[in-house]
Structure 1
Amino acid sequence: MPTIPPNSPPVALTPRLKLRPAAGWQGNAQVAPKSGAVLGDKPAITAPLSLFKPAEPAIVLDVKARPGARTLGDASADGALEYQPAEPAVYALLQEVHTADGVIYDVTLPDRQPGATRTLGDDQPGVLRFPIHQVAGGGAPDPRPRPRTLGLGDAVGGAVADAVTKRVLQVLRSPIDKALLAAVRRFEPAAQVQAWRPGGFAPLEGFEAWRALLPPGADHRVLLYVHGFGSSTAGSGGARFVPELAPGYDAVLSYDHPTATLTPLENAQALLAMIPDDLRLSADLVAHSRGGLVVRSLVELLEWQPKLQPRRLLTAGSPHAGTRLAEPERWDRLVSLGLTLGSWLISLGGGAFWAPKLLEFVLKAAAQSTFDLPGIGAMTPGSAVLQQLNQPDAPGLDERVPYAAVTSTFAIANVAQQGFRQAFASLAMQVFMGEPNDLVVHTASALEIDASSRAFTADQQFRASVDHSSYYQDAGVQAFVRGHLGA
């Protein structure tokens, strides 16, 4: 078991793995016994990794940082794991950070530097250097009582270091897959509308199912909910809330759709094509996250038809100006936040937020530099999709379809579990670098819509302090939704 004294030189762990400790680390590193599990004895994420396999034995790292404050996101305090690949493939490092409160995930790809490549096609691939982010680190705790919100550049305290019980690091490999995009398309669900009935949502399969629910020849008022990236009706908090509004509508509907391989406009077009032409629906549109771009496409980019007339629109945590997590160089941060949020929700007795399988596809795409996933690209700041959506609207649209938006600055004090509190702060700082955010979308982006011609008035916006997964579980958000819809 190699020991790591302060200011230790690089430590050889296996013939192909070398640990470069950060300055001030002290503790030990141990090669874990080989087992069938990818990481740890009892991974918190129940869905197994299937696209990646262990490239080397797992490394159990038990280190503490030397006392001394550091700012979250300070890469100078990071160590690194170096790996010499045996064969051309794509590689990633998955780190489990174990705390008394649960497991934090940090997924990283090799640094882009001389001698390190992401897609290995050379006969003699170079050494890969994986950063080991200080998800929690040393330093004296801050005794000052104050509100704790993300984006304020907090320092990591010594109590945080005590929360970490161990880290398990696993270098993973996956074959280079030229048909990766086709595999993602096969994995994502087909577009489908579901209708709320006592006991749950059930799919509307074919035009006759629509006509049985909403008979032609009459006007019907419906509520349509659209989920966000990597989610579904079953996995979305919004779809658990909107049935409470059912007494005010002839039907409550939810739209399941692929979010990685199609653009929001393509999602909207597919939705419209499912509705029989002989219906007359007046629709209130409620969306979460990326779903906000879908409903805006429906209202702003498609020709209105009698079968679906938008009435009111509300979005929560939607990246109207994009999110940096959608930028290809940050897809590993997207995966890290998704897995950590899922782990946190599972520890609280809830379900996963994003589908771990889709996150694994995103990680593999990033690892082999395959960034042609238009559903994610649409959320990149400055994307063609966002530029098109944020052009000035047709005159009078504001009056015809009143908009409202919910945003959030995630209050870190709302997380009781110390380990998760620091993980969220650290991961968010690596992406947002001091900007207030809800862990996935920066706070301002959820309100930045048609900036040259439209702004949300005070009564058209609500600011919460929840994380990105929890908008529709917040009582204040629920009251705001009811008020906007007149429910």
Structure 2
Amino acid sequence: MPELERDNEVELAYGVRLRSSGVSATVGDVRQAPTATRPVRGVVADELLGDSGDAVARLLPVVEAAGMRTVLAVPLDDVQVPPTPFGGVRALTGEENYVELSVPGPDPDEGQVVLEVDEVGLVRWHIDVEAAATAVAIADNGTALAARGVAPVRAGIEQTFRIPIVQLDQGGVGGQQRGFLGFGVRKVLHLIRFPIEAAAAAVGKAVVGWWEDRRRPHALSLVTPESLGDVPPPDGVSAARLAELADKPFLVLVHGTFSTIRSGFAGLNRSGGGQPDLAELVARYEGRVLGFDHQTLHVDPTTNADWFLRRLPTDRPVTLDLLTHSRGGLVGRRIADPALAAAAGVPTPDVRRLIHVGTPNGGTVLASPKRWTTLIDVFTNLFSMLPEEVATPTAEAVIELVKQVATGVFNGLAGLTAMDPGNPAVTAANAQVFGGGASGAAGAVRAITSDFTPAAEDLRLRALNAIVDPFFGTGNDLVVPTQGVFEAGDYRVTDPFVVQSPSAVVHTAFFSDVRVRAKLGEWLPGAV
């Protein structure tokens, strides 16, 4: 097997070249899918990815359904970087220690991305260096997103992918004294091709917006424990039915990025610990529990809230308790805005409660275009740990975002940039004080957040945490900074509930936690 020596390069089969910066490794046999020479639409599924461990096995059906096919696999063994004087994490930005993988470019109507699979089960996505440079330019130089149009970046006859190598001292976990590298001394780089959706470009839309319009339309439905897992009906709950029920308060569930009501609030449907679950909440509100499914990637929270408000009765204000997760809290804030209700032609809702659970009120650094691949990595790993029926809806949205950014298209994602701390609109939203207070028109605003630290024995989450933590530089739940949920400019939420380490929760697991459900039981009064 060829050796990749530090700061050298090696030519491999099938036009593959590896170049090292500060990294040495043993390169295994490069495997090519037998049908890889065909256009990607003709490549047989599951020729190389099927034996890549549990994490990839969970993703495989979603990847295949999205038309993505692995065409090459490059194994790396005994990966090493120079030791540091004090041990610990190295090269989290990839500026010092990395491997560059150069491969033949795809056909003109195809895109390529690299999926890195590490021996501890961590998976990471990598876009080519040209697309990555575009993302950095947009984030750091304020390049107008609209200026990019919807035409993909083309890399000519060759594409290069930079794979940062991170070393973390394992610290003797489980009696093993070696460090683990890239979160394992072995990794496999899978080159994945996919067709570019010509239909999206034909209607002038980026892929994600085209996909969300088709697969994730806005919907408002009455939710029960039995129906939570169902795809909402296209028509949802009628305005007439809402008017009939409007004599008492509603509980409205508002999910976060990539998610749906059925995936985002699945934890509420798991009874246990003697704490309130969805069945109890439905009983408290006498059946008045609404699930608001909305598009989270290509439209902003104001557009989401406007859609919701226009479904409310026009002859009377409704009373709402909003239970929101992640980005859904930004939508909840807009629902409580009297000016937006007036523009929608409905009375301002009486928002008795607005509960933020992991909401990026101050934004999240992972929403910057140059961090979108890290955001994708976090959600890919977190949702591959969840039950399939919960993980699949979210993984589908993640994969569509992977496909778009892999072709260098960073426009048409207003739902993500609405959470970017570098977006002036985020600062402006937190400087607005309307309705007599920073909470807007909401009567009582609550917040639940987490400062997550992984258990020592959980190597996969330790690896993920080591990648994410340096970007935040402060406590976080792997997606949102802890403090930013309840302190964001002039928007302040008093007496937040912070789920502390060492038993804190990650961003996707709040509603499964009995302590969180106990707080919700205190804060949600029901139809009274």
Structure-1-length-normalised TM-score: 0.82
| 2: CA distance, partners of 1:379 / 1:116 | 19
Instruction: State whether residues 3 and 29 of structure 1, in contact with CA within 8 Å, keep that contact through their aligned partners in structure 2.
Output: no
Q: Deviations over 1:47-70 (max 9, x none)?
A: 124556457421122223268334
Structure 2 CA distance for partners of 1:208 and 1:332, relative to 1, 3 Å = closer
Q: Deviations over 1:406-428 (max 9, x none)?
A: 12111212x7532x123312331
Of the three residues 79, 90, 93, the one matched with 2:114 is: 93
Aligned to 2:76: 61
| 2: CA distance, partners of 1:194 / 1:110 | 41
Answering whether residue 408 of structure 2 is matched by residue 368 of structure 1, we say: yes
| 2: CA distance, partners of 1:226 / 1:329 | 27
Structure 2 CA distance for partners of 1:404 and 1:70, relative to 1, 3 Å = same
Of the three residues 37, 40, 44, the one matched with 2:49 is: 40
Q: Deviations over 1:364-404 (max 9, x none)?
A: 22232332211112111142542443133225345851111
Aligned to 1:106: 124
Structure 2 CA distance for partners of 1:190 and 1:350, relative to 1, 3 Å = closer
Answering whether residue 491 of structure 2 is matched by residue 462 of structure 1, we say: no
Structure 2 CA distance for partners of 1:374 and 1:86, relative to 1, 3 Å = closer
Instruction: State whether residues 91 and 171 of structure 1, in contact with CA within 8 Å, keep that contact through their aligned partners in structure 2.
Output: yes
Answering whether residue 171 of structure 2 is matched by residue 141 of structure 1, we say: yes
Aligned to 2:464: 424
Instruction: State whether residues 345 and 351 of structure 1, in contact with CA within 8 Å, keep that contact through their aligned partners in structure 2.
Output: yes
Q: Which amino acid aligns with 1:192?
A: A
1:25 CA drift (Å):
2.8
1:8 CA drift (Å):
6.9
1:456 CA drift (Å):
2.4
Structure 2 CA distance for partners of 1:395 and 1:364, relative to 1, 3 Å = same
| 2: CA distance, partners of 1:407 / 1:377 | 21
Aligned to 1:191: 218
Structure 2: 5+ residue stretches without partners: 35-43, 136-150, 270-276
| 2: CA distance, partners of 1:115 / 1:307 | 45
| 2: CA distance, partners of 1:379 / 1:115 | 21
Give the share of equivalent positions with the same residue, in percent: 24
Structure 2 CA distance for partners of 1:114 and 1:126, relative to 1, 3 Å = farther
Of the three residues 372, 375, 378, the one matched with 1:334 is: 375
State the secondary structure of the residue aligned to 1:270. Answer: helix
Structure 2 CA distance for partners of 1:157 and 1:319, relative to 1, 3 Å = farther
| 2: CA distance, partners of 1:396 / 1:30 | 66
Of the three residues 436, 441, 446, the one matched with 2:485 is: 446
Q: Deviations over 1:281-331 (max 9, x none)?
A: 311111000100100011125236448321110111111111122211222
Q: Which amino acid aligns with 1:80?
A: E
Aligned to 2:446: 404
Structure 2 CA distance for partners of 1:74 and 1:303, relative to 1, 3 Å = closer
Instruction: State whether residues 356 and 448 of structure 2, in contact with CA within 8 Å, keep that contact through their aligned partners in structure 1.
Output: yes
Instruction: State whether residues 224 and 282 of structure 2, in contact with CA within 8 Å, keep that contact through their aligned partners in structure 1.
Output: no
Counterparts in 2 of 1:224-239, with a 5 A limit?
Answer: 224-237=252-265
Instruction: State whether residues 98 and 104 of structure 1, in contact with CA within 8 Å, keep that contact through their aligned partners in structure 2.
Output: yes
Aligned to 1:153: none
| 2: CA distance, partners of 1:114 / 1:395 | 42
Q: Deviations over 1:414-452 (max 9, x none)?
A: x7532x1233123314643x3321111122221233x23
Instruction: State whether residues 117 and 188 of structure 2, in contact with CA within 8 Å, keep that contact through their aligned partners in structure 1.
Output: yes
Aligned to 2:514: 475
Instruction: State whether residues 30 and 75 of structure 2, in contact with CA within 8 Å, keep that contact through their aligned partners in structure 1.
Output: yes
Structure 1: 5+ residue stretches without partners: 144-155
Structure 2 CA distance for partners of 1:22 and 1:50, relative to 1, 3 Å = farther
Aligned to 1:378: 418
| 2: CA distance, partners of 1:421 / 1:114 | 25
Counterparts in 2 of 1:11-22, with a 5 A limit?
Answer: 11-22=10-21
Q: Which amino acid aligns with 1:189?
A: R
1:276 CA drift (Å):
3.1
1:214 CA drift (Å):
5.8
Counterparts in 2 of 1:195-344, with a 5 A limit?
Answer: 195-197=222-224, 199-201=226-228, 203=232, 209=238, 211-212=240-241, 215=244, 219-237=247-265, 240=269, 241-250=277-286, 251-278=288-315, 280-300=317-337, 301-303=339-341, 305-306=346-347, 308-344=349-385
| 2: CA distance, partners of 1:279 / 1:174 | 50
Instruction: State whether residues 219 and 292 of structure 2, in contact with CA within 8 Å, keep that contact through their aligned partners in structure 1.
Output: yes
Structure 2 CA distance for partners of 1:86 and 1:342, relative to 1, 3 Å = closer
1:338 CA drift (Å):
1.7
| 1: CA distance, partners of 2:390 / 2:225 | 21
Structure-2-length-normalised TM-score: 0.76
| 1: CA distance, partners of 2:411 / 2:423 | 13
1:225 CA drift (Å):
0.8
| 1: CA distance, partners of 2:224 / 2:23 | 59
Provide the aligned length of Structure 1 versus Structure 2. 459
Q: Which amino acid aligns with 1:411?
A: T
Instruction: State whether residues 39 and 168 of structure 1, in contact with CA within 8 Å, keep that contact through their aligned partners in structure 2.
Output: no
Structure 2 CA distance for partners of 1:275 and 1:119, relative to 1, 3 Å = closer
State the secondary structure of the residue aligned to 2:382. Answer: helix
1:170 CA drift (Å):
1.9
| 2: CA distance, partners of 1:474 / 1:163 | 28
| 2: CA distance, partners of 1:188 / 1:435 | 36
| 2: CA distance, partners of 1:50 / 1:368 | 22
| 2: CA distance, partners of 1:314 / 1:157 | 45
Structure 2 CA distance for partners of 1:486 and 1:229, relative to 1, 3 Å = same
Of the three residues 166, 169, 172, the one matched with 2:189 is: 169
Mean CA deviation greater in 159-168 or 379-388: 159-168
| 2: CA distance, partners of 1:358 / 1:242 | 25
| 2: CA distance, partners of 1:85 / 1:16 | 10
Of the three residues 64, 71, 77, the one matched with 2:89 is: 71
State the secondary structure of the residue aligned to 2:261. Answer: coil
1:90 CA drift (Å):
3.7
Instruction: State whether residues 264 and 297 of structure 1, in contact with CA within 8 Å, keep that contact through their aligned partners in structure 2.
Output: yes
